[in-house]
């Protein structure tokens, strides 16, 4: 530090300290000289061993006769202050005092310059789990600040900076740190030193809250993970099955495939955040479906309707996703039908083609067995059509282009006579019903074709599904849910997914009919001249025979032609 040198005048005689111990002279403005004897902690008020020199307005120094330290704008001059026998005079920035360290008799001169030193008026901090940023505010001073000094190790070392802010990094989380700061002006005069204590934030680990098996088949399990980031965001998900090695993914959903049917699996999941910190490991057990296929009970040439009912009688509901709607089955149609229900039953049929690999346009699905006939619905739509472009919902008397004509003329004509002959002429009840948002599948069934129906049958080959067909295609848990609120059943309803017409019309409104919305609910407020998707529905003849196939989309059921 370079300071201006002063002329010393009026220096008094030498004062000698006759203590052969380590001493610390501590003093502040307006305080008496205090000699601290570190061996017995006794404070001795005595200034006879030193000379206090104060700068005057003309730049000279004069001895002070006061027994108190100078007040006002004075600054300790470390270059002029000295002791005769090697004692060290040191400025204690933190406490604003001068210390004498000596182990022998000594005589000391303490110089103070008439100078306005910059002061640290405030120290603020911000923090994270591994860093602390300190910002210093200064005031006063004859000259501007040149450097700032920051310490986090008890003053053993200081980080020098020209900025009033400094960040300590790579710290320990949830740990208290003592930080000391001071400044020097352009002449090298030091400010007061301020100390603050700051505790870093606690690091919050990511957490896996839950893992759910969202889709289970006979050979695969899909899991969905609900996880929360902590201090940092989640970056990677890790999945393991039966204690195998983990597979990493950026997605919170993962499918384990190639599994065995009817087997229980232990699935483990954890996550890592952007800094590599790991969460807890969450474990669930999930069992693949114990799936059996129609081929397990049917042989080439067997009656198809009988095959399906025998399939149910042999294996029941759990493995077949077939439900026998007898009177004792709660909330069912109670019509002794056998209906497929749930997310994705193996009810695919290849119709209209005998190609080795069934074309996608020829895939149909079995709604169920009604009496001795199997009822099919096309897997995909044949296009968007008006229910009746003449704005009349009388199914069998329209003179305008309508779905009935499109299905039984245009669509039917795309099939060869061989396949047309496999379709039975069926009496579809088309009398209609009133619309209520509170109706369940059972209530729709009763009004459409069941005990409350007053419909006059219309005999034809091709029709559409009933609202009740759609309702009973959902898992039985939803059969008590109003179909207006069937959105929640969509993932458990194999018929859901299209915005499409049904054959059911409104009996109390001559130009409206029912449709299924793509989100999975039933809407009865649709004008019949509007266009929606159309999927042909028909009954196979009672003599239709099973040929082969498991019923999956890749191996659909084949019939004898």
Torsion angles phi and psi, residue 463, rounded to 5: -135, -155
pLDDT attached to residue 439: 94
The pTM of the whole model exceeds 0.85? no
d(CA 395, CA 504): 9
pLDDT attached to residue 327: 95
d(CA 27, CA 95): 9
Q: Is 207-287 the same fold as 119-199?
A: yes
d(CA 12, CA 196): 41
Pairing assessment for the beta strands 207-216 and 221-228 based on DSSP bridges: antiparallel
The residue ranges of every structural domain in the chain are 7-114, 119-199, 207-287, 295-547
pLDDT attached to residue 172: 96
d(CA 517, CA 501): 9
Q: Evaluate the CA torsion angle 86, 91, 94, 96 in order and state its sign.
A: positive
Strand partners, 364: 349, 378
CATH number of 207-287: 2.60.40.10
pLDDT attached to residue 55: 93
d(CA 18, CA 404): 122
d(CA 364, CA 540): 12
**Structural fold of domain 119-199:** Immunoglobulin-like (2.60.40)
Q: Which of 269, 262, 220, 271 is nearest to 243 (CA)?
A: 269
pLDDT attached to residue 48: 56
pLDDT attached to residue 489: 97
Q: Evaluate the CA torsion angle 154, 155, 159, 164 in order and state its sign.
A: positive
Provide the residue-wise pLDDT of the chain in tens; the chain has 561 residues. 444 433 332 222 223 332 222 333 433 333 333 333 333 333 222 445 778 899 999 999 999 887 777 767 888 898 999 998 888 888 877 777 788 887 777 788 999 999 998 999 999 999 999 999 999 999 988 999 999 999 999 999 999 999 999 999 999 999 999 999 999 999 989 888 999 999 999 999 999 999 999 998 888 999 999 999 999 999 999 999 999 999 999 999 999 999 998 899 999 999 999 999 999 999 999 999 888 899 999 999 999 999 999 999 999 998 899 999 999 999 999 999 999 999 999 999 999 999 999 999 999 999 999 999 999 999 999 999 999 988 888 887 656 678 999 999 999 999 999 999 999 999 999 888 888 899 999 999 999 988 777 777 889 999 999 999 999 999 999 999 999 999 999 999 999 999 999 999 998 898 999 999 999 999 998 999 999 999 999 999 999 999 999 999 999 999 999
Half-sphere exposure of 155 (CA within 13 A, CB side): 10
The whole-chain average pLDDT of the chain stands at 88
Angle value at C-alpha 244, between 241 and 247, nearest 5 degrees? 75
């Amino acid at each position: 530090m370079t300071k201006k040198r002063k002329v010393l005048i009026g220096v008094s005689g030498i004062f000698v300290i006759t203590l052969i111990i380590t001493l610390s002279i501590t003093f502040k403005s307006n305080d008496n000289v205090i000699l601290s004897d570190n061996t017995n902690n006794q404070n001795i008020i005595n200034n006879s061993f030193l000379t206090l020199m104060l700068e005057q307005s003309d730049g000279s120094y004069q001895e002070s006769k006061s027994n108190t330290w100078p007040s006002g704008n004075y600054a300790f001059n470390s270059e002029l202050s000295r002791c005769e026998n090697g004692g060290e005079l040191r400025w204690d920035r933190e406490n604003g005092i001068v210390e004498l360290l000596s182990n022998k008799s000594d005589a000391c001169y303490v110089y103070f310059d008439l100078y306005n030193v910059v002061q640290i008026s405030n120290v603020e901090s911000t923090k994270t789990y591994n860093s602390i940023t300190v910002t210093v505010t200064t005031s006063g001073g004859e000259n501007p600040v040149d450097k700032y000094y920051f310490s986090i190790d008890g003053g053993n070392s200081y980080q020098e900076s020209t900025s009033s802010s400094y960040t300590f990094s790579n710290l320990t989380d949830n740990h208290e740190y003592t930080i000391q700061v001071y400044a020097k002006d352009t002449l090298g005069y030091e400010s007061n030193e301020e100390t603050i204590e700051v505790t870093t934030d606690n690091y919050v680990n990511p957490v896996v809250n839950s893992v759910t098996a969202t889709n289970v088949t006979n050979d695969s399990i899909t899991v969905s993970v609900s996880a929360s980031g902590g201090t940092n965001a989640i970056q990677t998900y890790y999945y393991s099955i039966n204690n195998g090695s983990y597979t990493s993914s950026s997605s919170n959903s993962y499918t384990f495939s190639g599994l065995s049917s009817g087997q229980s699996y232990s699935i483990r999941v954890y996550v890592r955040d952007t800094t590599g910190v790991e969460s807890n490991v969450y474990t669930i057990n999930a069992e693949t479906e114990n799936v059996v296929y129609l081929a397990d009970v049917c042989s080439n040439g067997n009656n198809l309707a009988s095959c399906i009912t025998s399939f149910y009688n042999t294996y029941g509901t759990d493995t077949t996703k077939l439900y026998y709607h007898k009177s004792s089955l709660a909330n069912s149609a109670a019509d002794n039908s056998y209906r497929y229900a749930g997310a994705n039953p193996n009810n695919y049929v290849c119709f209209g083609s005998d190609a080795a690999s069934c074309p996608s346009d020829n895939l149909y699905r079995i709604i169920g067995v009604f009496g001795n006939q199997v009822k099919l619905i096309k897997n995909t739509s044949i296009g968007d059509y008006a229910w009746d472009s003449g704005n009349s919902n009388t199914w069998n008397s329209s003179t305008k282009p309508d779905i009935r004509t499109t299905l039984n003329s245009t669509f039917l004509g795309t099939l060869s006579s061989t396949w047309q002959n496999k379709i039975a002429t069926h009496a579809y009840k088309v009398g209609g019903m009133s619309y209520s948002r509170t109706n369940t599948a059972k209530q729709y069934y009763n009004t459409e074709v069941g005990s409350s129906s007053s419909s006059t049958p219309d005999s034809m080959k091709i029709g559409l599904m009933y609202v009740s067909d759609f309702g009973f295609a959902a898992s039985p848990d939803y059969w008590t849910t109003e179909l207006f609120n069937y959105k929640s059943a969509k993932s458990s309803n194999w018929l859901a997914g299209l915005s499409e017409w049904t054959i059911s019309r409104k009996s109390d409104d001559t130009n409206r009919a029912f449709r299924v919305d793509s989100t999975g609910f039933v809407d009865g407020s649709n004008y019949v001249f509007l266009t929606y998707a159309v999927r042909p529905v028909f009954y196979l003849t009672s003599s239709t025979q099973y040929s082969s196939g498991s019923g999956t989309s890749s191996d659909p059921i084949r019939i004898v032609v």
